[in-house]
Amino acid sequence: MTTVRVWGSRGSIAASGAQTIRYGGNTSCVELRTDDGSVIVLDAGTGMRELGAQLALEGVREVHVLLSHLHLDHLQGLAFFAPLYDADTTIHLYGPPSPLQSLSERISAYMSDPLFPVHLAHVPSDLQMHDAPYESMAIGSATVLACPLAHRGPTVGWRIEDAGRSLVYMPDHEPAMVTRLETADPSWVSGAGLAHEADVLLHDAQYTEEEYPSHRGWGHSSIAHVVQFARLAAVRRLVLFHHDPSHSDAELDWVHARAVELWGAGEDAPLIAHDGMAFELAALGARRTATPA
Ligand SMILES: [Zn+2]
Ligand SMILES: [Zn+2]
């Protein structure tokens, strides 16, 4: 059994307050427990703080953190992740490769004076840095694979296969930046290969169709683009993710309704992520099977 829990579903910056109570305000962080109990964490946004407290409580000693990229909304929680300060814990950090600086140098730009009092090099846990794998590799019972995505700066999407099901994670992605999704051949669309026939796709849904034109090139998608992308990648279940910090609960209800309108309101209708959302991968990505006669 593969379980997934969303600890932060917001994008750009944490957005707490009366307008965001239902969907939550923590930035991107998703926990996946594989069939053999391995702990995989997708991104280190502010939702990671609460996840760290939970893992410390459970005494988890090994964590695999898969970073999509190093924008602060995907990294800020790392410094407040309790297992980072536990000498008995091994943390594997995977991030997009850069020809200019190592992963630890780039993360240290945040985790060092004057932005943070503890330097990354001085944390007590056994911290191991890895480039995101562009060929499949195993983590426990799962197989994971990364692929570069159209965003701002080095960015990857992640595909995790476990117990016969797949989850694809693309929190910041603008496939429409260079391609007309309505007419594109999927083989030329950013991320479409990685997402192909995914059981569940967590995808950037930052802008409404009205907001997108004034944000073209910022690295994010409109609701229409997300739905088009999921369709052309033949995804089974789309989950809207990385909500704009300015979108209130009421506006996110509208965003969700618009995605359902565009996709169709069947049993495979799109869902929208919220902080605290939890599901079994097999249940959410249930494949349609032929009904016995
Ligand atoms: Zn982001
Ligand atoms: Zn970003």
DSSP 132-186: PPSS-EEETTEEEEEEE-SSSSS-EEEEEEETTEEEEEESS--GGGSS-TTT--G
Q: How far is the CA of 114 from the centre of ligand 2 (A)?
A: 23
Secondary structure class of 293 (helix, strand, coil) = coil
d(CA 237, CA 42): 18
Task: Name the closest ligand to CA 151.
Answer: 2
Average pLDDT, integer, range 3-24: 98
Q: How far is the CA of 28 from the centre of ligand 2 (A)?
A: 10
Asked if residue 26 lies in contact with residue 51, where contact means CB atoms within 8 angstroms, the answer is no
Residue 287's pLDDT is what? 61
Asked if residue 46 lies in contact with residue 78, where contact means CB atoms within 8 angstroms, the answer is no
Q: How far is the CA of 132 from the centre of ligand 1 (A)?
A: 18
Q: How far is the CA of 292 from the centre of ligand 2 (A)?
A: 46
Q: How far is the CA of 203 from the centre of ligand 2 (A)?
A: 12
Q: Which domains does the chain have, with CATH numbers?
A: 3-284 (3.60.15.10)
d(CA 92, CA 293): 49
- Its pTM stands at 0.96
Q: 119-174: per-residue pLDDT in tens?
A: 999 999 999 999 999 999 999 999 999 999 999 999 999 999 999 999 999 999 99
Percent of the chain with pLDDT over 90: 93
Task: Name the closest ligand to CA 174.
Answer: 2
Phi, psi at 87, each rounded to 5°: -65, -15
Q: Name the pairing type of β-strands 126-131 and 90-95.
A: parallel
Residue whose token pair is 């290969």:
193
Phi, psi at 159, each rounded to 5°: -120, 125
Q: How far is the CA of 147 from the centre of ligand 1 (A)?
A: 17
Q: 218-236: per-residue pLDDT in tens?
A: 999 999 999 999 999 999 9
User: Residue 258 is which amino acid?
Assistant: R
Q: How far is the CA of 170 from the centre of ligand 2 (A)?
A: 10
Q: How far is the CA of 289 from the centre of ligand 2 (A)?
A: 37
Percent of the chain with pLDDT over 70: 97
Cβ count near 265 (within 10 Å)? 10
Average pLDDT, integer, range 6-19: 98
Residue 285's pLDDT is what? 67
Q: How far is the CA of 222 from the centre of ligand 1 (A)?
A: 14
Q: 65-76: per-residue pLDDT in tens?
A: 999 999 999 999
Q: How far is the CA of 172 from the centre of ligand 2 (A)?
A: 5
- By the 10 Å C-beta count (0-12 exposed, 13-18 middle, 19+ buried), 92 is classed as middle
Q: 77-93: per-residue pLDDT in tens?
A: 999 999 999 999 999 99
